Structures are given as C-alpha cells and as structure tokens.
Structure 1
C-alpha cells in the first residue's frame, strides 16, 4: 500500500474574498467556510476566529482538532464518517501543514473538552499552541446533552471535519512544496534483508468504554466498542481511517489531528527497512468488563504471535480503568516472548506520590510516561478568550472545579483539562523521569 502526502506549509492565515493558498498564506472566505459549517441544521450559531502562536489567547472548551487536508486520488477524507466508506491509506493526500481546525464550544463544555493557551506558561502544555488555528466557535440545538457532563459533540465535531476538507480542497490541484511517501508492503513482498530485521508491531488501544454509540473513537465510522482487535496498515491511520471520540478526559484524548500525524507510527515507518521490520498496527479497544478486557488481550496476542512479532509498542488512550487493558496486553505479549514498551500517562496525584497506574505488573518494566494528569497548573489572565472561560469551572471539565476561574481571568486547574496535553501518540512536550 502506497500513500503520497503532499505538504503545503502554511505560514499565515487571513480572511479574504476567496479561499486559496499562495506563497505560504492561506486566505479563507469566511462566508463560504461557514456555509459548510451550517450544512448541519443542528448548528445554531457559528463564527471563525484565527489564533496564532504567541497570541495572548486562551481557547476553551476545545472539543476536537482536525488538520485541513483533501484527497487528490485513491479515496475520500474521513471514510465512513463524513464521506462514503472506501479504503484509506493509498493514492495522494494534500495537507495544509502547520494549520489546524479547532472545534470550540461557544458556551457549553464538558468532561471531555479542554483548554489551549497560545502563549505564556500554558502554551508549553500542548502542541496546539504551536499551530495556526482556525477556531470554529459554535453552539448547537443539542439540548438533550447541553447540561450533561459527557457530551457527544457530534454536530461540532462533524462540522470541523467538513471545514477541514473544504480548506484542504483549495490546494487539491496545486503541486505540493514537499512530498512524503509512505509505502508499506505485504509481509510476503518484503526483501529477505528486511525480513531478517527485528519484527516490530504497534498496538493502539482506542478509547471505547461507553456502551452507547456516539462517544467512542471510530474506525472507518465503526464504533470501537463494537470491534475486536484488528490488524491495519499504518497508512490507513495516517490517512484518516480513525476519528477521535468524545469521552476521555481532555489531556489523555487523541484528537483526529494527532491520529493522522501519529509521531510513533511515522518514526516506525522511518526505521522500517533500516533497523526494524515494521509489521503494522493492531488497533484494539479499551473495555469495561474484565471478560471483555481479557478477550481483547487474547486477540492482540494471537495476531502478534501469528505475524511473528518480536517487539511491540503498546499505546493507551486514557488512564484509570483502561490501565487494566494496558497491563493485560503487556502481560500477554511478554508471556508470548514479545518484548514490550508501553506508552501512557499517569495519575499520581498533585504530589506525584500516588500509584501511577490502576493496575501494575512486573512484566511492564519499560514504560514511557507522557505526564501526570493530576499536575496542578496556575495560569494568569489572557487578553482574549475564545469560547467561554466559565465552562472550565461550570461544566464538569475534567481538570476544572467550581473555583477554577478567578475574577481577573486567571485559572487554576489540573493538567487533566489541557487539550490533548499528554496523549500517547508521541507528539508532546513532556514526560516523567524516574531518578
């Protein structure tokens, strides 16, 4: 399977009379872009606001992040979700690199929504402070979940994908500034030299604990709660086959932007044929009942062993209850003679002294930590707030509480509420080091 990614590097974004890209400048016709947003009658109000690196801007409640891109050949964007179901991971995709569409609530937030600072100390918590963000600030008529702590946020999340595709289409017929090729051949078509290298598998555990549909991560539009561990070509993930859910505490969530830019997958692809034989990706889920957890772990082991895996990276989306899925998979793989490195965040309390994971094992002796969800953070006021700052304290944000927002606009919160601050894909600023 061969995927070409054509990159157009965005250096600035402005609004103008038409949507086009030229010499690093992305110009957006706001009316046309909002027309795409209002294709969903559930969206009642919407605006677009540009937030740039270094701006004195605080954004909350952030619900989703999507990279502007379009398919030039070989499929559609976000198959099975906003477009028809076709295979992803082949042909050519054009990308407006350095830009991002953020879905932001105009008023109502929830447990799974987060905060982004574009400057100051808070900017060091998340990669999204380094991007040129097109903030879709909108409200909806989804009254049934307005006051719920857990929100599906479907109208806004789907609008963000449509908007990202609309923006990406402005470079559909242009020649990219940079072309990156990802080619992942079937095992029987690889050279003897590659097949003699250490055989490595990447296992991605998607958040899927909600029994009701609409909250969990989607694989080709299919609720991950309804799936068994599945072998996928890494190109599929880099080309939009997986969509972020709307359930996890914000810092632990893997946004759609991060799925298509998964830094761990990209590094494994880079090392393929040089230091490792990258076998592919096992996409698994995170469950609630013990029997479901054990079943998934058995299937992961079966797939890995059948493919002759010698080493594996296991990445967990979230923490708490999912830690048991994480440890079960590591135990099964280690018992099968497969060496494992895990990637996860921790919940060690504000003092850092609590047990880092709900479940532990002597076999989980190589863990990359992406940070402590309980880290206490204090941030001064910002000149501009996009969205509604009160949502941090009022709406059950996983990192906020009643006294989180002060009268002068300062906030105190836990890292839990920073948008995708310590997700497990490898694109973040921080870790925890044991001395």
Structure 2
C-alpha cells in the first residue's frame, strides 16, 4: 500500500469570482461555496470568513477542522462518510497545506466545542492559530440538541467536509509543490536490515464512549464504539479513513485535520528503517464498562504480540473515564512483554496538585504529558468574535462556566475571558504537535 500526498502550499486566501488555486493563492467564490454548504436543508444560516495568523479574532464555539484535499481517483475524501466505501491509503491525494476548514457554531456550543485565538497570548495554545483558516460559521434547525451539553453537530460537521472537498478540487489538475510518500512493505516481506530493528506499533484510542450513534469517531463511516481493536495500515489514517467525533473535552480532541496529519504516524515513518521497524497502527477504542475496557486491552496486546512488536506507543484522546482504558492497555502490553510509552494530557486541577490520571499502575512507568487541562487561562478581549462568545460561559463548554463562586463567569463584560485550558480547540496536541513543554525548577 503506497500513499502519495501532493502538497500545495497556500500563501494567501481571498474571495473572488471563481474558486481556484494559482501561484500559492487560494481564491474562493463565496456564493458557490455556500451553495455547497446549504445542500443540507438543516443548515439555516451560514457565512464563510477568512482568518489568518495575527488577526485579532477569537473563534468560539469551534466544532471541527478539516484539511482541504482531493483524491485523484475521484473518490470521496472520506470513504464511507462523504461517499461510497472504498480503500483509503493507496494512490494519490492532493492536499492544500497551511490551511484548514474550521467549523464554528453561529450560536450554540457544547461540551465538545472549543475556542481559538488567532493572535495574542491565546494563540500559543493551539496549532490552528498558525494556519490560514477558511471559517464556516453557521446555524442549524437541530433544535432537539440546541441546549444539550452533548451535541452531535452532524449538519455542521458534514457541511465542513463538503466544503473541504469543494475547495480541494481546485488542485485536481495541477502539479504539487512536493510529494510525500508513505509506504510500508508487508510485515512478513521486509528486508533483514529492517526486520532486525525494534518492531514498534502505534496504538490509537479515539473517543468512542457514547452508546448512541452520532457522537463517536468513525472508521470508514462505522461508529467505532462498535468495533474491537483493529490493525490498520497507517496510510489509511492519513488518507481519510478516520473522522473526528463530537464527544470529547475540546483540548483533548483529535479533529479530522489531526487524523489527516497525525504527527506521531509521520514521525514513526521518519524513523522507519533507521531506528525502528514501524509495524503499523492498532486502532483501539474507549469504552464505558470495565469488562469492555479489559477486553479491548487484551485484544491490543494480542495483536501487538502476534505482530512481533517489541515496543508500543499508546495515544489517548481524552481523560477521566478513558484513563482506565489507557492504563489497562499499557499494562496489558507490558504484561505481554511489549515495552510501552503512553501519550496523554492530565487533569491535575487548577492548583496542579490533583492525581493526573483517574487510573494509574506501577507498570505505566513511561508517560508523556501534553499538559494540564485544568490550567486557568486569562485572555484579553479581541477585536472580532466569530461565532458567539457567550457560548463559552452559557453552553457547558468543557473549560468554561456560567458562574464560579470565586471567578464569576468565564466571559466578562468587556469581552475578556477566563477559562480552563480544557476549552482550547485541540490545544493539547496529543496527536503529536503539542505546543507545550516542561520546565525544571
């Protein structure tokens, strides 16, 4: 399986008479783009804006991020979701780099939605402040979930994917600036010099805890809550087999953009044949019942052992209840003789003194932290808010609150905010590009 990603570097984005990409400039016909968005009758109001690094703009509630792409065989960008089911990870896909489609609610937010500042102190907390973003800000008639803390956000998320496909078609007949190649030989057919290196698997635990359809990450369009741990070629992940769900405290989230550009996968590819033998990805799940958690952990360890893995990296999307899945998986792998490193955020409280993970075990002795979700952040007003600032306080965003006996509301009268890092969109960068570091005192 060989995946080629043809990269087109976006230097600027603007609106114009036609949607096209020329000499690094992406031009968007807004009326045509909105027509694509409004193909879903549930979209009642929509606009498209362009924001760039350094703009004095705050976006909230942010629901999803997608990289615009085009599959050269004409197939859907997300097989089984935006079109017919087909193999991902093989062939050529064109990608517009340095940009994303951001989906923002015009009014209502929820536990899984977040905030992005494009400038100032807040910009350092999320990777997406570094991108030139095409912002779809819209509302829907999905009244049944308007005031629900957990929202499926289906109409808005699917509109974002259609918009990303529409923009991706601009490069369908052009030569890319560069081509990234991702190819792994079948495990049993690798050269001796590769076989002699330590075999490493990446275990991914996307958010799949909701029993009801519509909230969880999708694997080729299938609710990943229903799956058992599955071996996948890493190319499939990079090429649209996975899309983000709509259930997760937002700083912990893996957006669809994260799956398309999963940095841990790319780094393992860089090391493949040099320091490690990258065996592939075990796509696991996060569960609710203890028996389910233990079953998944055993499946992961069994797959890793039978692949001949000597080491594993386990990456968890989330915290709290999912910590039990995370630690159970680490322990099962260690018990199987697979040396394992975990990557996750932690929830140590506003004072930093609480237990970082809900579940811990002495065998989980190699953990990488991407930061404390409960750290308080104070940010000044921005010149422009896209979406609705009050959503941060009113709608149960995971890092915001309507009233706190000491701090008051997250949203102040002057437009400044105080919130926990929890609400920063994909701010923990668990996929491999956390902006955080540690200092020794």
Shift of 1:274: 1.0
Cα distance in structure 2, aligned partners of 1:74 and 1:227 = 28
Q: Which residue of 2 aligns with 1:376?
A: 376
Asked if the contact 1:75/1:88 (under 8 Å) is kept, the reply is no
- 1:173-252 superposed matches below 5 A: 173-252=173-252
Matched, 1:29 2:29: yes
Asked if the contact 1:198/1:310 (under 8 Å) is kept, the reply is yes
Deviations 1:294-332 (A, max 9, x none): 000010011000011000000000000000100001001
Report the TM-score when normalising by structure 1: 0.99
Asked if the contact 2:429/2:435 (under 8 Å) is kept, the reply is no
Q: Which residue of 2 aligns with 1:405?
A: 411
Cα distance in structure 2, aligned partners of 1:292 and 1:26 = 47
Cα distance in structure 2, aligned partners of 1:251 and 1:429 = 12
Shift of 1:188: 1.9
Cα distance in structure 2, aligned partners of 1:395 and 1:335 = 43
Cα distance in structure 2, aligned partners of 1:351 and 1:82 = 44
Cα distance in structure 1, aligned partners of 2:421 and 2:195 = 42
Q: SS of 2:398's equivalent?
A: coil
Q: Which residue of 1 aligns with 2:430?
A: 424
- 1:4-403 superposed matches below 5 A: 4-73=4-73, 75-402=75-402, 403=409
Q: SS of 1:301's equivalent?
A: helix
Cα distance in structure 2, aligned partners of 1:75 and 1:184 = 23
Gaps of 5+ in 2: 403-408
Cα distance in structure 2, aligned partners of 1:432 and 1:144 = 43
Deviations 1:105-152 (A, max 9, x none): 000001100000000000000000000001100000001000100000
Q: SS of 1:258's equivalent?
A: helix
Q: SS of 1:285's equivalent?
A: coil
When the two chains are superposed, the root-mean-square deviation of aligned CA atoms in Å is 0.9
Cα distance in structure 2, aligned partners of 1:263 and 1:433 = 23
Shift of 1:433: 5.7
Cα distance in structure 2, aligned partners of 1:363 and 1:433 = 25
Flag as ranges the 4+ runs of structure 1 deviating above 2 A: 73-76, 431-435
Aligned length: 435
Cα distance in structure 1, aligned partners of 2:6 and 2:195 = 29
Shift of 1:423: 3.7
Asked if the contact 1:20/1:26 (under 8 Å) is kept, the reply is yes
Gaps of 5+ in 1: none
Q: SS of 2:122's equivalent?
A: helix
Q: SS of 1:73's equivalent?
A: coil
Deviations 1:342-398 (A, max 9, x none): 000000011111100000111111111011000000000000000000000011111
Cα distance in structure 2, aligned partners of 1:180 and 1:324 = 36
Cα distance in structure 2, aligned partners of 1:198 and 1:97 = 32
Distance 1:320 1:434, change over 3 A: farther
Cα distance in structure 1, aligned partners of 2:355 and 2:439 = 15
Q: SS of 2:246's equivalent?
A: coil
Deviations 1:218-271 (A, max 9, x none): 000111110000000000000010000000010001000001100000000111
Asked if the contact 2:76/2:82 (under 8 Å) is kept, the reply is no
Cα distance in structure 2, aligned partners of 1:143 and 1:93 = 37
Shift of 1:184: 1.5
Distance 1:431 1:293, change over 3 A: farther
Cα distance in structure 2, aligned partners of 1:11 and 1:75 = 27
Asked if the contact 1:313/1:342 (under 8 Å) is kept, the reply is yes
Asked if the contact 1:370/1:432 (under 8 Å) is kept, the reply is no
Cα distance in structure 1, aligned partners of 2:242 and 2:173 = 26
